[in-house]
Structure 1
Amino acid sequence: MDLLLWRHAEAADGIPDHTRALTARGLKQAQRMAHWIEAHRPKALRVLASPSLRTRQTAAAFTDDFRVVAGLGPDGSVADLLAASGWPDASGATLIVGHQPALGRLAALLLSGTEADWTIKKGALWWFTNRVREGETQTVLRAVIPSELA
């Protein structure tokens, strides 16, 4: 399985949190990363997004074919992200467009075995895959792409 974690792009400050829109800079970040994803995407990519406006706008820069999942919202947990994605047993690939701190905590769990407060920059993408070697399941970090390098 491939699991891509994409933090929403830069958004305007404001209240309520769920209605914060991407800034002009954020729209450019999302578009650049969407082009990178399109050029490198795995086959059969399922896209899941938080219900917040900024994550839906980020996902929409890549595709209109995404599903909004309530558990991926700003208050979502690592368990919510794992449940939505089906990691590591689902087939194909899943792209989650979400928020800190859950995305960073999931990245830490996948690479170190323990949740920790790691930061994923706004607009950045972390791409994981898993494999079995000599009977052992391994997590592999395939790419970390900040939006300015996309």
Structure 2
Amino acid sequence: MRRLVLMRHAKTESHNLDGDHSRHLTKGGIQDAQDAGVALRALGIDSALVSTATRTRETFTHLGLDVAPHFLDDLYFGGTDTAARLIAATPDTTQALLVVGHAPTIPDLAATLLFASDPSEADGVGGWFPTSAYSTFTFDGSWKDLFGDSPLGYEGTVRRH
């Protein structure tokens, strides 16, 4: 069984003189990421795709996972379809994948995956996905088939604040 964890970055400063891509985590965001990391370490994450934005890189660092991340500009500049394509390209040697990105991409992707099994829950996930929140899905089969007809198990969305 494979596991996919979709996470929105932790709480950030409202602006940065160097632009959106350069926004840093707040002290509360750092603590939220550290708290999330405790739970995520128990999920056996063995691969991570992380946006290149400062806030996602810092979120990943503060999770404290013993995984070498793949930093991808496409997770910052692309949308839901791009993120789905990147996940589908994950090698099948990966059992548990973490994706750290941004809204609206992460909540939209979670809602898309959840819609097949529980449309009413999909609306809730897609409509409210705060910083440091993550949704966890399980499935059998290949990563490339995830966005086809693969039945998913939804383990829930953890909302941190």
- TM-score, normalisation: structure 2: 0.78
Q: Give 2:25's aligned residue.
A: 22
Q: Larger helix proportion, structure 1 or 2?
A: 2
Pairing of 1:1-150 with structure 2 (within 5 A): 1-15=2-16, 16-38=19-41, 40-42=42-44, 45-62=46-63, 63=65, 65-73=68-76, 75-86=77-88, 90=92, 91-113=94-116, 117-131=126-140, 137-148=150-161
Number of residue pairs aligned between Structure 1 and Structure 2: 142
Q: Is the 8 A contact 2:11 2:25 kept in 1?
A: yes
State the secondary structure of the residue aligned to 1:47.
Answer: strand
The residue identity in structure 1 corresponding to 2:115 is S
Could you tell me which amino acid in structure 2 is paired with residue 50 of structure 1?
A: S
Which runs of no fewer than 5 residues in structure 2 stay unpaired? Answer: 142-148
Q: In percent, how many aligned pairs have the same letter? A: 25
Partner Cα separation in structure 1 for residue 86 and residue 43 of structure 2:
19
**Structure 1 residues 131 and 89, CA, compared in 2 at 3 Å: closer, same or farther?**
farther
Cα pair 1:131 1:140 within 8 Å, conserved? no
Q: TM-score, normalised by structure 1?
A: 0.83
Task: Please give the root-mean-square deviation of Cα atoms over the aligned residues, in Å.
Answer: 2.4
State how far apart, in whole Å, the 1-side matches of 2:114 and 2:132 are: 20
Contact 1:100 1:119 in 2 (8 A): no
Please, which runs of 5 or more residues in structure 1 have no aligned partner?
Answer: none
